[in-house]
Every structure is written in C-alpha cells, then in structure tokens.
Chains A and B, each alone.
Chain A
Amino acid sequence: MNTNKNNRIVVIGNGMVGYKFCEKLIAKQKNGQQFTLTVFGEEPRVAYDRVHLSAYFAGKTADDLTLAPENWYAENGIQLYLSDPAVNIDRERKEVRSHHGLVVPYDYLILATGSGAFVPPVAGVEKDGVFVYRTIEDLDLIQSYARKAKKGAVLGGGLLGLEAAKALLDLGIEETHVVEFATRLMPRQIDDAGSGILQRQLESLGLTIHLSKSTQEITGEDTITGMQFADGSKLDVDMLVISAGIRPRDELARSAGLDTHPRGGIIVDNFLQTSDPSIFAIGECAVAHHMIYGLVAPGYEMAEVVALQLIGESKEFKPFDMSTKLKLIGTDVASFGNPFVEGPDCRTIVYENKAKGVYKRVNISADGRELLGGILVGDADQYNMLLQTCKNKTILPPNPEDLILGSRGGEDSGAGIMSLPDDALICSCEAITKATLCHEISQNGHNTVDALKKATKACTGCGGCTPMVKDIIQGVLKQQGIYVRNILCEHFDYTRQELLDLVKINGLKTYGTVLDQFGHGDGCEVCKPAIASILASLWNENILEKGRATIQDSNDRFLANIQKGGTYSVVPRIPGGEITPDKLIVIGLVAKKYGLYTKITGGQRIDLFGAHVGDLPNIWEELIAAGFESGHAYGKSLRTVKSCVGSTWCRYGVQDSVSFAIEVEDRYKGVRSPHKIKSGVSGCIRECAEAQSKDFGIIATEKGWNLYVGGNGGSKPQHAQLLASDVDKETCIRYIDRFLMFYIKTADPLTRTATWLNKLEGGMTYLKAVVLDDVLGIADDLEKEMQLLVDTFKCEWTEVVENPELRKRFTHFVNVPEKKDPTVQFDALRDQKRAKEWA
C-alpha cells in the first residue's frame, strides 16, 4: 500500500490511542518506508495515561503519567502540534486545517479524536463548581476548587464516576456523594448482588451512594449550592463532578461528511476505514461492530490494525473482549465474558460473603464444560485465570466451583498458567500471547518482568497482566529445569531458609559453629550478618556476646548508625511517636552536651547525629536513665510503629491508634528479621499514619482493625494488601505474630516483606491460607516462636551500659581509649552542624 507518494500521514488527536498508533507505525515501518507523520493535539500536553488519571490526586505528576516525552516525537521525525486542534478536513484536496491555520496535506488521515465527557442536559450545568472528569486540566480545576469545598458529589456511578469519587476522597472532601440514575452502581459491568457488595464497601469508606436518582436541576445563583432530583429530594453540595459517560468526538468527521452514528461516533468497517477510504478512525471516536469500545486495550488493537495496513500488511479488527478488572477505591471489581447471562443454557454459581465484602459469580454452560463469563467483587485474584479459561474455552474441571472458591483438597487446582494454549492473550493492551512471552524467556533469556517489558512491551499498558507474566517466567524456567536457589554466598551452599532450619535443628548459637558444620572458608560480609540475623531471630541472645560482635554489620556492632565521616547517629525508641515533655527535654540536653545534630525522622522519632563512637555508651547511659530504650534504628529489625493521634483527640478517629501502636511496638521491638520492618496504625480510614505503606499496617474500622501486610515505601513503593478485616486486637496481634515469623523464617537475606510477598508462590492467597487458615499447621509454632522473642527481649544498650567488657569496645583507638578520631570534621549548618562532605 505504501509508495513514495502515499507516505504522508496525519493523525488528529494525541491521546493514548493516537500516541499508540504513532509508536506502532514507527516500530513496524520497514526498510525503505519513510512516513511523514503529523500529529495535531487539542490539549497543551503530550499524550498521557488517562486510565490512571486518578493517580494524579494520589501523588503522581503529569510527567509520571506521560506516555512518551515530547522529544520522543521529534526523535522519531514526528511533527507534533499541541494546543492546536484540527478544525477542518478538506477531503477533495486531502488537507487538514488546524485552529492556528496550518494546512497539512495527507495521503492517509487517522482520526483518534477520542471522546469527551457526556454532560446530560440538566439545567444549571454551567454553574461554577460543576466540573467534568476527563483531562489533566479538568483535574487541576477540580483540585483548586476542592480546597474550599466541604461537600462534593459525583454524577454517575459507573466506572469513571467511581474513579472521580475516589479523586474527591483523595482531595480530602469531607462528604462525598455518588448520584446514579440506574438502580445500581456500575450497571454495565456487574449485577445487582455484586453491586450491593461494592456499594457497602464504598459506604464503609465514607462515600454516600444515591441510586435511582434523576437529577433535574443544579441549584444556586452563579455557583452550585445543591442538586434537585425528580423525586423531590435535594442534596446540598459545594461542588459536582459530572461523570455520566462519554461522548465520541465525531464533530470534525461529521462536518467533513463522513458517516457517523446517530447516537455519536464515526462508523468504520472491519479495517477501521471510514466511509472515505483514505480516512481511518480509531479509539473511542470510532463505532466498530456497532459499538464504541471505551477501553484502552481495544483502542490499542485498533492502532495496531491501522498501522499494519499502512505498512502493507493486513489485519482485521475483530469484536473485542470487554472484560475488565480494576481497583475502585481499594475494592477489586472485575467482569469478564458474558457477566449477566442467565437461562436454560447456563448454570450460575454464586459465592457471597457479606462480612468480607466478597461476591463472585461464574456462568457455566449447561453441560458444565465451558466458562461463559462472570463477576468478581472484593477479591479478583482469580480474574486472570478465569478470563483465560473463558476466552480459550478451556474444558472446566469436574468441580467448577473450585474456580472461585479455590481448591479445598490441597492440590493446586489452577493447573496453572502453563496449561493455557500458546495463543492465549496474556497482555491484552499490547496483544502479547503466551507463546511470544515463552519464546522471549526461553530463547532470548529475558527472564525478568523488566526484560520482558523491554522486549515485548507486555505489562506496560494497564499492568494487569504482570502477575501472569511473572508466573509464565517461573513456569518456563521450571520447564527448563532451572530451579533458582538463592544460596547465601561462596561460603554456604544453602539458602537462608535452609540454613535457618539447620541452625535451629542443631541448636547452633555462634557463627563459628555454623561455619564449621555447614560452610567452608572464612566467611565474609554477606554470610556473617545473614547468620547473625538468623541466630538473633532464633535465640534472641545479645548480639554482641559469644564472638557475635564481629559478625555484625558495622551498625549492629556499635548499636548505632555509621554516618558520613565515621561518627554515629543515635535513635532512642519513641513508641508510636508518643513522648512526654520531660523526655523531650532530656533528648535536647543530651544533644547539647555531646554536640549532636538533631532531626525528626520519617518514623516519628528523633535522630541525634554526629556522635563519636567513644561517646555512645555515655550518651545511652543518660538516655536510659531518663527511661529511653534502644530504637534499633541500626538493626534489621522493627524500626517504628507510626501512629496518627486517633480517637483520643481526633474528631474523626474511631479507635485509639496511639495506644495500639505503642502496644505493637513494645511487642515486636528488638525482633531481628531478614530486613528492617516498619509498621503504622491509623485511627480511621483517612489513614494519616500511612499504614498501607508499611511492612504491616493496621487501620481502625468501626468494628475493629484491618490488617495490611507487605507494603513498602522507598524506591519501589507498594501498597500493603489486606490480610484480615474487622478483627479485634488479640486476633490482629496473633496474625501479625504468624505473618512476621513466617516471613522471618522463609525470606532471603535483606528482602523486605513486599519483595518477599511478591516472590511468594501463591502470593497473597497463599499467605492468607497460611496465616488465617493455617493450611501448613504451623500457626501454633509461629506464635510460640514469636512469643519466645517477645519474652526474651532485652534492651541491648542497657546491657552494654551495664557491662564493662562490652562497653570498652566502644572506642576508636584501642591504645588511647579516651582519644577521639581526630579526622572527624564538621561544617556549620543552620545553627547546627553537618558532616564534612567527603571527597
């Protein structure tokens, strides 16, 4: 199709699909094909990820959401005009004219104009305080208006409406309402029962839901003050976000005389050609197979189909599966295949657990052989497997209820990802099949998710396929007989887990005996601290005794954090972040006496920097006399249990988070683990203690506590996942005991709980089975082992202060113990000091 005179391509629209088309065309063009690409975009910024728009309020920047930076376009020879929408298509002359008056000729024109928000014809929608939820500009407007708003409403209880409601919650609107015309939330994706469960979950998070409400008028002078409904009721609000659906942007096509649908959208054939063969339409502006595909995956597929045609290959756009899985305000919602099918040809299996907020429905063919579709609310862990089973018409197992309930017979029922056919579509955004992934892993050695992302672009769209891609990597490696064993180092041919078991069974308590019995050589800086950690996790004896001081990392050896220049920092434990004025004064006095720089840490503690090693015991002697204990900031152990002030002061608090945080911190302080452990306790759903970014986090509910595990801040932030909900304190502690001990016993060295959980075979489902259901029968042992650590806790610094032998190791020069390291130097900084910059 492509010849020299057919190479001028104009793309109208720089949204996700318009961008994807450019990317695909550039990637696919063959030697000798040289396209001239011109792109007109209406928005002032380059294409960004609209699917994750609400992440903008959760802290992502516009740059984070950008699909490709502006220079990508230039580097690929694409002429990009932003803030300059096309306003006219002259089909006779084959020219596009832009708002700024540019006229660009085309051989092929691609319409990727997308959609706008559908604003229903309700009186008063033009008033101040009424917004739509579509672009980053809309979000900026909403954000600035929300600062003065207390009550907000979202018109529309569909997918986008609930996203918008989450945005209002994130913006701190105190009272957020969702107003839906239909009789249930998300009427297009889920059924009544599922919707009921979802509604309860959302209500428990503080949303007020109004169903079967027809909005008649938006009231107020020039600014919105409320909404008037057809049934006579009213709702006072300060702002309203309309998210009642989308309207295809077909006005340009319509004025150019292209066929459009009476209800909106540019009509295209199976090759996405409009009624003018030189013009294609892709994405949400196109009507293909009599429908608008309002998801990104079919849009990307359309981009692919057109790009292939332009390079001279042929591909048809087939009716696209509209299955979706998303997380709405923390609740999983998924629907796949035909979610609603009923009647004689179908059997339906429903599982509902109102207490846990879980609803699952699968529709099975009457002969029990095929999965037709289904709905998952509250727990969509099985979505990917169910979707694949449905799409590939895999023959179902004899007990199809296992699909949603999980096998209760011990053996893994999800025969697993490797049983899927080769052409199973794993990444639907980028149309990557299982065969492609297997090939990249086995033939090209791309056996990490990152490598596969680079090689195939899988996981780069919605990211929903990442868990499956990980499973495929594991599966292929296993098929190749590769068993990835993370042995400790050259001195030990064992994994940490194996060594822990061996040390325990043999009752070994020193590094020397472990090395003699199970290792070789003289050890190193990798295995020494790893075994030190194992010994501490098992026996909890003082880490500096019995020759264990020299196997500790420097921080543990001196019970302080080594800093630039060779001085140390000191962090007394301040459980839950609660501290008396008297103790604050002591910290101030100590800092002044020893010339220490003071700073509040991220974990609600106070860090004292610049201590000479020889001063550490004296500093601690004074702190301990005032009632402080070691904060273990130097150890791979529990750091801090951050808390918000909770119900003792906060007008929103539903539980006493500070008291619980102190209790938790006192329980697990000093417990040595494969890596540091952080925790947090929030007194209500507002989550001010950021518990979901911790290794284990606790959030108060009206009925008790929700326990989350496996969260992480740092360079790879990850939200913790819900392990148990509405449990009482005792149960919560018991689950934490089991969770922590299970982690301590099985994780690789220096692996945080998030990474450990990500790698754990069976993931969260398996962890729940171990911790909640005790499928391994080890819960009692785990609790006892943890209790031993709790019972044997001793403050390491108290022991050092009271033990002259240990105390004398804290000196810089063994032959001049009173002399400090003369090379230590400081610079002045804001009335305090800092370490001298190193070379």
Chain B
Amino acid sequence: MEVLVAPKHEITWHLACRVDDIPEDGGACALIEGKQIAIYNFTRRGKWYATDNECPHRQQMALSRGMIGSQADEPKVACPFHKKTFSLQTGQCLNDDSYQINTYSVKIKDGKVYIGI
C-alpha cells in the first residue's frame, strides 16, 4: 500500500499590523496578499489567532467583527450575521457541521503581528 504524504506546506510570514491595531479580546481584519484575514487578540488567554475573514454561511466578510469567547474550553468566534460560531483552533463550525473556515498561524515580534500563510 502506498502512503501519500502531502508535501509540508511552506509557511510564509507576512507582516499584518501592529499589536495595538487589534483590540484586546477582539478582532480586526488585515489585507494580506489580496486575502482578508481576521486576526484575534485573545488577551484573556494571552494568545493570538487568525482565520478567514469570510463566514462561509452567507459569504460575508465579517468574522473579524465578531465576538470571541469559549465554548467548553474551545476558543471561538461568533459571526455577527447569524451567530455561526467557529473554533479559533480548528476552524470547525461549532453549531453547524457543514461549515469550516481556514485558520492561520500568528507570530508576534517587536510589537508587530505576522500571519503565516
């Protein structure tokens, strides 16, 4: 049996914005290589997350304006349109199995936020 291993995706780091551009325990959107990326400053956990800005439910560029929080222990964001919520770690929609968003790596350096795509 042949095992196919996908070639490891090369991450390129892009400068997105300054740390204080993203509100504490909230999100904002950055334009990176023509792509809308939602960046979240999860201050309560001291963590950063990044996902697609588009909510796949109605294709609205809105997730960065959503409220973040947790469900059980899973960090999540809620779309402001119809309150679909997505895991910030896996991108899985938590209240409708049929939706999934992309998540991205975030790196903080010298007060600047970098997104890995």
Contacts and interface: CB of A to CB of B under 8 A. Distances in A.
B50 interface: no
B70 A523 contact: yes
A220 to B, nearest CB: 63
A525 B25 contact: no
Interface string B69-90: 1111101101011010100000
Nearest to A521: B70
Contacts of A521: 69-70, 73
B96 interface: no
B70 A814 contact: no
Nearest to B69: A524
Contact of B62 (A524, A529, A554, A815): A554
A614 to B, nearest CB: 12
B93 interface: no
Contacts of A562: 62, 65, 80-81
A84 B106 CA distance: 78
Contact of A813 (B29, B59, B60, B70): B29
Interface string A515-535: 000000111110111000000
B58 interface: yes
A490 interface: yes
B21 A815 contact: yes
A10 B32 CA distance: 78
B67 A524 contact: yes
Contacts of B62: 554, 562, 566
Interface in A202-244: none
A838 interface: yes
Interface residues of B, number: 41
Contacts of B45: 522
B70 A823 contact: no
A175 interface: no
Given A522-B75, A565-B60, A566-B60, A547 B65 contact: no
A513 to B, nearest CB: 12
Contacts of B44: 512, 522-523
A512 B43 CA distance: 10
A813 B25 CA distance: 18
Nearest to B41: A550
B24 A547 contact: yes
A551 interface: yes
A315 interface: no
Nearest to B80: A554
A525 B29 contact: no
Interface string A319-356: 00000000000000000000000000000000000000
A815 B29 CA distance: 8
B25 A550 contact: yes
A821 B34 CA distance: 11
Contacts of A696: none
Interface residues on A, range: 35 or more
A558 interface: yes
A839 B66 CA distance: 21
A800 to B, nearest CB: 14
B67 A815 contact: no
Contact of B59 (A523, A812, A821, A839): A839
A553 B67 CA distance: 7
A813 B71 CA distance: 28
Interface in A468-517: 490-491, 512
Nearest to A824: B61
A839 B54 CA distance: 13
Contacts of B16: 814-815
A551 B68 CA distance: 8
Given A547-B24, A562-B80, A562-B81, A838 B58 contact: yes
B30 A823 contact: no
Interface string A42-73: 00000000000000000000000000000000
A565 B17 CA distance: 25
A816 interface: yes
Contact of A551 (B17, B67, B76): B67
Contacts of B36: 813, 821, 823
B29 A814 contact: yes
Contact of B69 (A523, A549, A819, A821): A523
B26 interface: yes
A525 B26 contact: no
Nearest to A549: B23
A550 B24 contact: yes
A525 B61 contact: no
Contacts of B66: 525, 554
A529 B67 CA distance: 9
Contacts of B22: 814
Nearest to B42: A522
Interface in A519-574: 521-525, 527-529, 547, 549-551, 553-555, 557-558, 562, 565-566
Most buried by B among A491, A813, A819, A823: A813
A134 interface: no
A812 B29 contact: yes
Nearest to A565: B60
A833 interface: no
B83 A525 contact: yes
Contacts of A490: 71-72
Contacts of B73: 521
Interface string A778-816: 000000000000000000000000000000010011111
B108 interface: no
A520 to B, nearest CB: 10
A536 to B, nearest CB: 16
Interface in B6-33: 16-17, 21-32
A838 B59 contact: yes
Contact of B30 (A524, A525, A813, A838): A813
Contact of A809 (B23, B25, B67, B68): B23
A557 B29 contact: no
A549 B26 contact: yes
B24 A524 contact: no
Contacts of A554: 62, 65-67, 80
A528 B67 CA distance: 8
A527 B67 CA distance: 10
Given A490-B71, A814-B22, A566 B61 contact: yes
Interface string B40-58: 0010110000000010001
Nearest to B67: A525
Contacts of A491: 69-70
Most buried by A among B39, B59, B69, B73: B69
Nearest to A527: B69
Nearest to B15: A815
A522 B70 CA distance: 5
**7 smallest beta-carbon distances between A and B, as pairs:** A550-B26, A554-B80, A524-B69, A525-B78, A522-B70, A814-B21, A523-B69
23 contacts: A522-B70, A524-B67, A524-B70, A524-B78, A525-B69, A525-B78, A528-B67, A549-B23, A554-B65, A554-B80, A555-B80, A557-B65, A562-B80, A814-B16, A814-B22, A814-B29, A814-B39, A815-B16, A815-B32, A816-B31, A823-B36, A823-B54, A823-B61
Given A549-B26, A838-B59, 14 more contacts: A522-B42, A522-B44, A523-B70, A524-B67, A529-B67, A550-B23, A550-B24, A553-B80, A566-B60, A812-B61, A814-B16, A814-B29, A838-B60, A839-B58
